[in-house]
Structure 1
Amino acid sequence: MANQCILRISRELGEIQKAADLSLAAACRDSDVRHVRALIVGPPDTPYEFGFFEFKIRFGKEYPTKPPTVEAITTDRGQTRFNPNIYAGGKVCLSILGTWRGEPGEQWSSAQGLESVLISIQSLMSENPYENEPGFEDARTPQDKIMQAAYAAKIRHETLRISVIDRLEGYLGIDQGRNGPVITVQPEFEAANEEPAWEPFKDLCKRRFLWYYESYKRAIEEEGMKHKDNTPFQKMPFEGGGNSMNGTFQYQALKKRLERIYEKLEEEKQQWIKEGKEAVQKESSKAVNLQRQFEQVVEAYKNQEMVNVELDLVDSNPFLWRLVLFGRPMTNLDGSMICVQIHLSPRFPEELPRAVMDPPIFHHRVSPKGIVCYHTRRVDDMGSHVNAIIQAIEEEAPAYDPRTLVNPEASRLLWGGPENKKIYNRRVRRSAEATME
């Protein structure tokens, strides 16, 4: 029975890790598959947009007959309740977890699993979370609308502050004058030595921060115009007893902190180049492996007769690849010469490459700063990374996926109706043609 439980959990973890859903992630230590950490990226067009919300999930020996226990750990050290159903103390109220009464058919069944639990939690992160509180589902009066907007406003602020900015500052060692290190897990776990420090989503959050930087920046600018700094958050009728979201709006400070994180990530990328050169001089196994992978990818493109692709190493450094993509005729990229630098970490594939287009083109998968949004499941194979980058750039008729919208303006035009799409195509063509100048 125990082996079946372990096999079931391992299979479900593998399915999430191999899936194309960019809003969910899960990981465990090899020594303990029953203790899982999961990350949910906040849904677009909600107060939780592109926030990083982490959970501890413990599977008992009776799983899947009984549900796992789930604990929220993105709570600002137990001080912030992010949702009527996600408490500051970590409790997650869901009928399928047995932590909330539900309607018939909403209880746990062995047909459900880790993914269904994460999707259920993600569904709580709605456009109007105020309605998640029992008794407030049908709030419709003018005062109700005011309270709904006030609740969403402070969630949006704290999503940016706690789940994004505090988290990234902790990863990067940026000191904002706090007492002690910035962490996202609740301190009592570390104090009790329940588990050593472990950050399975560190690289993922760094890469996603770069993807969504413009969205974070835009949210700060727009919300900062609505909420004057030092204005206290409005208390909700269902908050109290240490299970609240208290604080003040501080958007000017958040803007500076956001920009500092971006600068620090740029510095980290330059450090990779330096470390890579040192690894080459020492003839490290990582450097040799990446050199070999580069040669194999180049040879593969020659065999495929990919005449529109050139690949070389910058300064003969296998930790810095340069991809040149010549636009195919009769496409938006016709007449272009697109250059992408692919920065690799000396800790690849634990830290994944960062692809930067210089100069950037106007494109829904390319941020205004040139960050290319791409995804591959074969993370240790550089050929797969290069293919995924090319596919993302050349994609002519993409399916709508809000998690890949790294250029808000381009995305608005592309999916904003026929006339807006014409404008999008025209701007892509013009920016692509400018790469030859």
Structure 2
Amino acid sequence: MADQSVFRITKELSDLQKNSDLSLAVACRDIDVRNVKALIIGPHETPYEFGFFEFAFKFNKEYPRKSPTVNATTTNGGRCRFNPNIYANGRVCLQLTNSRTWRGERGEEWSAAQGLESILLSIQSLMSSNPYENEPGFEDANEASDKKNQKDYVQKIRHETLRISVIQRLEEYLGISLDGSVAPPAANRDDYDLDMDIMDDDSTVPFEPFKDLCKRRFLWYYDSYLVAVQKGKEEVKDGQLFTRMPFEGTSNTMEGKFNYTELERRLRNIKKALDAETDGWAAEGQAAKAKESTVAVNLQRQFEQIVESFKRADIPHNLELVDNNPFVWILTYFGKPMTNLDGGLFRIKLAFSPRFPEEQPRIKFETRMFHHRIASDGTPCYFASPSRREDAKSHIEAVIEALEEEQPAYDPRTLVHPEAFKLYWGSPEDRKMYNRRLRRSVQQSVE
């Protein structure tokens, strides 16, 4: 029975990790498959938009006959209740896992046909545009006071989503203090064995499987965070206290006050720190190259193979190293003929970490392009295959595919350039404006 349970959990984790769902991620230590961490990225057009919400799952030996337990860990140390059903102490009330505190409908209970993904999707569904309705007894609240509470509740969730799930998380990852200064990395680079390319296996090292993912997604959604800040500034004043909801208890609430000006300052500091970290990889890479580390040798070989493959396939794009450093590549992309990109000449920088592929490459268009899949700072939103994380060519191919896709499906998870995204998916006139601005950026790329 235990072996079957482990097999089932392992398969579910593998299936989720292969999935291209951009809003869910799961991970566990190799030796502890029953304890799983999961990340849900807040849905678009909700107060949770693009927040990073982490949950801890514990699977018993009777799984899947019995459901796992689940706890929210993004709670600001047990001080923040992010939803009527997600308590400050971490409790997650779900009908699916029989952990609700109210009477559910028949047929909503757990069954062996359910799984980890079912629970994650159920939690994600709680992160709605009007979470006030999730509280039993308030589903059909129509009184004037309830309407005001609904608006107040959305406002404070949006603020705390930015402050706690995004800003505090990234500041911890980057070692940023409240005054904006950046402390040295927790893992001193001198402890990194450039010959073996591994860190010592220390059980005291915190398990942070989503650190690199959150850093890269922050760069995707940075502009959207600033839009949320601006919207918040228009609705509330700095210093205004949060409104307590009727269903919030003394130790199970979301208390505080608004300060979007401060949140904006901290967001901008995080962006600067991430850019500095990326720039720092070049110097680290040169040191790794000098020691002929495995990663350095591997990236040099991959670079040479890609250059050769471009020549064989008569691909016009050009690839070169910066300062002969295998950790910094420059791709010159030539716009695809007979498309809006035709005639464009774009310089794209690929920065690799000495810890690649654990830390994925950070890519940036140095030539400005107005495109719905490229953030205003040049960061592209692309999907490299999870099974090819160590293949640098797959990243280049994925970026080009995102650029050239002619009929992409609408996906708000790719909202990395709010203005371009809105025009692209707007009215026919909006699309015409989008195409004009894209063509203008293409023309400017060769001037």
Indicate the percent of aligned positions where both proteins have the same amino acid.
58
The residue identity in structure 1 corresponding to 2:444 is A
Matches within 5 A, 1:215-364: 215-307=224-316, 309-364=317-372
Q: Hey, what's the Cα distance between the residues in 1 that align with 2:207 and 2:179?
A: 23
Residue 76 of structure 1 aligns with which residue? 76
C-alpha deviation, 1:262, in angstroms: 0.4
Q: Hey, what's the Cα distance between the residues in 1 that align with 2:431 and 2:360?
A: 32
* 8 Å contact kept, 1:59–1:68: yes
The residue identity in structure 1 corresponding to 2:290 is Q
Q: RMSD in angstroms over aligned alpha carbons?
A: 1.4
Deviation by residue 1:162-204 (Cα, 9 ceiling, x = unmatched): 00000000000011179xx9xxxxxxxxxxxx98521110000
Matches within 5 A, 1:359-378: 359-377=367-385, 378=388
Residue 442 of structure 2 aligns with which residue? 432
Q: Hey, what's the Cα distance between the residues in 2 that align with 1:37 and 1:72?
A: 10
C-alpha deviation, 1:225, in angstroms: 2.2
Matches within 5 A, 1:161-176: 161-176=163-178
Q: Which of residues 405, 410, 422 in structure 1 aligns to 2:432?
A: 422
C-alpha deviation, 1:305, in angstroms: 2.2
Q: Hey, what's the Cα distance between the residues in 1 that align with 2:205 and 2:349?
A: 36
The residue identity in structure 1 corresponding to 2:256 is G
Residue 187 of structure 1 aligns with which residue? none
Residue 52 of structure 2 aligns with which residue? 52
The residue identity in structure 2 corresponding to 1:395 is E
Aligned to 1:55, what secondary structure does the other structure show? strand
Matches within 5 A, 1:83-162: 83-100=83-100, 101-162=103-164
Q: Hey, what's the Cα distance between the residues in 2 that align with 1:79 and 1:196?
A: 25
Deviation by residue 1:316-347 (Cα, 9 ceiling, x = unmatched): 11101111111122101011001110110000
More off after superposition, 157-166 vs 309-318: 309-318
Aligned to 2:326, what secondary structure does the other structure show? coil
Deviation by residue 1:32-87 (Cα, 9 ceiling, x = unmatched): 00000000000010000000000000100000011110000000000000000000
Deviation by residue 1:378-429 (Cα, 9 ceiling, x = unmatched): 1111111111111111222211111111000111011112221111111111
For the pair 1:400 / 2:410, whether they are aligned, the reply is yes
Q: Which of residues 208, 214, 218 in structure 2 aligns to 1:199?
A: 208
Deviation by residue 1:211-264 (Cα, 9 ceiling, x = unmatched): 000000111112112211110000100001200000000111111000000000
Q: Hey, what's the Cα distance between the residues in 2 that align with 1:75 and 1:196?
A: 22
Q: Hey, what's the Cα distance between the residues in 1 that align with 2:427 and 2:4?
A: 50
Residue 389 of structure 1 aligns with which residue? 399
Aligned to 1:97, what secondary structure does the other structure show? coil
* 8 Å contact kept, 1:334–1:433: no
C-alpha deviation, 1:306, in angstroms: 1.6
Q: TM-score, normalised by structure 1?
A: 0.95
Q: Hey, what's the Cα distance between the residues in 1 that align with 2:345 and 2:279?
A: 24
For the pair 1:65 / 2:65, whether they are aligned, the reply is yes
The residue identity in structure 1 corresponding to 2:291 is K
Residue 43 of structure 1 aligns with which residue? 43
Q: Hey, what's the Cα distance between the residues in 2 that align with 1:385 and 1:44?
A: 25
Q: Hey, what's the Cα distance between the residues in 2 that align with 1:66 and 1:385?
A: 40
For the pair 1:33 / 2:33, whether they are aligned, the reply is yes
Q: Hey, what's the Cα distance between the residues in 1 that align with 2:339 and 2:287?
A: 41
Q: Hey, what's the Cα distance between the residues in 2 that align with 1:361 and 1:386?
A: 17
Aligned to 1:95, what secondary structure does the other structure show? coil
Residue 184 of structure 1 aligns with which residue? none
Residue 5 of structure 1 aligns with which residue? 5
Q: Hey, what's the Cα distance between the residues in 1 that align with 2:179 and 2:229?
A: 22
Q: Hey, what's the Cα distance between the residues in 2 that align with 1:329 and 1:195?
A: 54
Deviation by residue 1:86-115 (Cα, 9 ceiling, x = unmatched): 000000000111101421111111111111
* 8 Å contact kept, 1:324–1:339: yes
More off after superposition, 220-229 vs 145-154: 220-229
Q: TM-score, normalised by structure 2?
A: 0.92
The residue identity in structure 1 corresponding to 2:396 is V
Q: Hey, what's the Cα distance between the residues in 2 that align with 1:409 and 1:148?
A: 28
* 8 Å contact kept, 1:360–1:366: no
Aligned to 1:96, what secondary structure does the other structure show? coil
Q: Hey, what's the Cα distance between the residues in 1 that align with 2:230 and 2:222?
A: 12
The residue identity in structure 2 corresponding to 1:322 is I
Q: Hey, what's the Cα distance between the residues in 2 that align with 1:306 and 1:355?
A: 20
Q: Hey, what's the Cα distance between the residues in 1 that align with 2:204 and 2:142?
A: 46
The residue identity in structure 2 corresponding to 1:416 is G
Residue 191 of structure 1 aligns with which residue? none
Q: Hey, what's the Cα distance between the residues in 2 that align with 1:226 and 1:195?
A: 44
